Chain A
């Protein structure tokens, strides 16, 4: 077989493959739920109901989507420049770390000064964490996929060390857990009585800003050029290594905001289970969004919906919660295939 580009794809060509991919994902999930003894035809309904069926559910989905928007943006920015940042998990924890270091009383400021400081501090920390693999890449040509992956493990151990050492909460009854943030360091809710914190607002603003950077600034133009064709970029004089470093700083900073937002908006302290893999899931979000920063918001809502909905469905019918992860993995693999098939036709020869 051979792939042949389609010059002017029809509407059916561009819409059908992704639809089929989503439907197949649902079918796979239903069959797996059946294995666990559930009624396969109830699965889709229960997921939708669990994710968006009530105000509580919808808000839960939005809250769940917030860190995913940040990590999704982080990955989208990096992948756009073909910097394979698989280390958003470590950068997220770096952001969370700075938030608890500075937000537990070290800076006795009001919220108006403290929160922006924490956010910027977190971004800086995340940026530094990705800077190391980025420098190894441009200096020594070390593949950043492996280094960022390995950094996730190293950094989590580092956090664990701090939580059992200098950052340990004396009142934590022996749990590896940091002290709680002071009230001024907590992100307020977006509206009175609404269980949605300002981290979500910050995520939306970030998505818009990233879009502006990519489309309207020279840096964004350079990032896209470096990602699409590094040789051509170098030939025309774009400082490729510099652009990769800037990309890494931005990407790391965005991932770190997820950590800041989770600690300051939701948890209030740092533990080792702060992120159930938000960094890795960010890759799925970014890929489903075709690396478009605005679409990242939609993709994050979709992914969060699957998590929240599948959680609730699993509880309702008694299937293991790992079904959500299976659905996401399936959706990711089928979706990248589907997107290819919107632009290429398969020719047998």
Chain B
């Protein structure tokens, strides 16, 4: 009998089932968590991990099943009850009010609303103490809007600790962190476990799961398909269990790059609110090469994507296409110059949810023949083109007339791929192209990018997932606060080395080196 089994059960999920329409998100999932234990909840995007945790936290109500915390049944659909029972959740998308201070965010909801005032001094002391105990350094009086992503996550964890959470649920907490920040987070979590807290760690990153967890629970298509002690398993076994089949990522065959198709020379762009603009960035995108852009989100990726995508023009510096300086620059000229743009957010900018597939497929071409002439739409032609994309890119859908909001993320992304790749573009801007997709769709997108590279396209791959960048890129740049690192050849840098750059170190020396 091991220590973990002997320890007290702090959380028990009993045959939780939840359906959304026809989709079974959770199918009789049972799970128990012990005191001082770290469980990794592993599964692909869409496997039902987040739904399960939202049920535990009371944001969804299960169709059937029960949740028990410290031996007591938790009333369904009541986040307050979950909080009071000692469950704290760190959401993947932070739940912070940007215009308020850390202190205000942490105390929100912790005292009765009708209490006349808040003892800020006492709260500040408490937060400082927790921050010290758990190595979560952050200024209680800083406005959340001015914090980095890593700091915001610390605030989220502080929120839970301040409410004396005994069980911490972290939903994909490392997705937005540098390798070093991930190490810091793990140090905090180990500290918490040592103090008797229990943790559910949701992830699809296998090495992190192996690193931090005591036990792994695997979800697939809403079902619990495996449960094992971490020390008894390995990454390969976990990957197979998670996907349900042997996975083979597309192979990257080394190839010689061609000429620079797009070239930035000392380009700067203005800051956009909290998002930094580019600071004297020089970059070559070469034919037949995938250039990876690594970095913590919010460090200028958006500015670079906007620039290449035609949404903003350089404030200073040169933007050259095929060696010729670009004067007029707009999304349309970018598309006409042969730039394919896969946007960061499928839902917000990539598609129009209430448009049907046809209307979405022609968003970039509707104003040109043959989709329209003299301002008149040619709908039969547009629909035929959409049919072709649906067939060629394997978009699973009821038909070109279906609203795109009905499609899964993967199929939505395939339609976008079809929209931008049909014209055989020479330059591809792939901004977070696989975020939120399951492995099948991820591999599909990656193989399309590799195919484009093979036929001589220049690809810029922007991703917060360092693993993805390292797997696909021929060369890698790191971006931090709008500055671009020198170019690193494939395999020349370890993740930790890139992490140093991602954290903003090395740029001054790098600049000196480059000039």
Contact = CB atoms under 8 A, between A and B. Distances in A.
A245 B308 CA distance: 27
B22 A7 contact: yes
A219 B376 CA distance: 9
Contact of B351 (A7, A217, A232): A232
B330 A237 contact: yes
Interface string B323-345: 00000001110110000010100
Contact of B352 (A4, A7, A219, A229): A229
Interface string A336-349: 00000000000101
A237 B20 CA distance: 35
Contacts of B330: 237
A83 B311 CA distance: 22
A236 B364 contact: yes
A221 B359 contact: yes
Interface centre among A220, A224, A237, A238 (most CB of B within 10 A): A237
Given A7-B22, A225-B363, A232-B363, A349 B352 contact: no
B352 A218 contact: no
Interface in A194-232: 216-221, 224-225, 228-229, 231-232
Nearest to B335: A237
Contact of A225 (B22, B355, B406): B355
B59 to A, nearest CB: 9
A7 B21 contact: yes
B61 interface: yes
B377 A221 contact: yes
Contacts of B352: 225, 228-229, 232-233
A219 B374 CA distance: 11
B367 A218 contact: yes
B222 interface: no
A134 to B, nearest CB: 21
Contact of B363 (A4, A219, A236, A347): A236
Nearest to B346: A232
A199 to B, nearest CB: 28
A232 B353 CA distance: 10
Contact of B309 (A216, A228, A235): A235
A234 B379 CA distance: 22
Given A4-B20, A218-B367, A235 B343 contact: yes
A232 B350 contact: yes
B372 A218 contact: yes
Contacts of A349: 60-61, 76-77
A10 to B, nearest CB: 14
A130 B256 CA distance: 58
A231 B349 contact: yes
A228 B355 contact: yes
A221 B76 contact: no
Contacts of B376: 216-218
Interface string B274-293: 00000000000000000000
Interface in A1-53: 4, 7
Contacts, number: 71
Say whether chain B's binding surface is mostly helix, strand, loop, or mixed.
loop
A222 B349 CA distance: 15
B201 interface: no
Nearest to B343: A235
A234 B334 CA distance: 13
B366 A237 contact: no
Nearest to B363: A236
Give the most central of A4, A220, A235: most B CB within 10 Å.
A235
B331 A235 contact: yes
A4 B334 CA distance: 39
B331 A216 contact: no
Interface string B67-93: 000000000110000000000000000
Contact of B331 (A4, A7, A229, A236): A236
A47 B372 CA distance: 48
B348 interface: yes
B362 to A, nearest CB: 8
Contacts of A237: 310, 330-332, 334-335, 364
A218 B377 contact: yes
Nearest to A6: B21
A177 B202 CA distance: 74
Contacts of B341: 235
A216 B20 contact: no
B298 to A, nearest CB: 17
Nearest to B78: A349
B353 to A, nearest CB: 7
B354 interface: yes
B400 to A, nearest CB: 15
B348 A232 contact: yes
Given A218-B377, A219-B375, A349-B77, A234 B311 contact: yes
B118 to A, nearest CB: 30
Nearest to A217: B375
B377 A231 contact: no
Contacts of A236: 331, 363-364
A213 to B, nearest CB: 10
Contacts of B355: 224-225, 228
A231 B348 contact: yes
A104 B332 CA distance: 49
A225 B377 CA distance: 14
A218 B382 CA distance: 12
A220 B377 CA distance: 9
Contacts of B349: 229, 231-232, 234-235
A245 B406 CA distance: 32
B377 A216 contact: yes
Contacts of A7: 21-22, 406
30 contacts: A4-B20, A4-B21, A7-B21, A7-B406, A216-B377, A216-B379, A217-B376, A218-B366, A218-B367, A218-B372, A221-B377, A225-B355, A225-B359, A228-B355, A229-B349, A229-B351, A229-B352, A232-B351, A233-B352, A234-B349, A235-B311, A235-B341, A235-B350, A236-B331, A237-B330, A237-B332, A237-B334, A237-B335, A238-B363, A349-B76
Interface of B: 20-22, 60-61, 76-77, 309-311, 330-332, 334-335, 341, 343, 348-355, 359, 363-364, 366-367, 372, 375-377, 379, 406
In the A-B complex, the 7 residue pairs with the closest CB atoms:
A237-B331, A349-B61, A349-B77, A237-B332, A235-B349, A236-B363, A229-B352
Given A232-B351, A349-B77, 6 more contacts: A221-B366, A228-B355, A229-B351, A229-B353, A237-B335, A349-B61
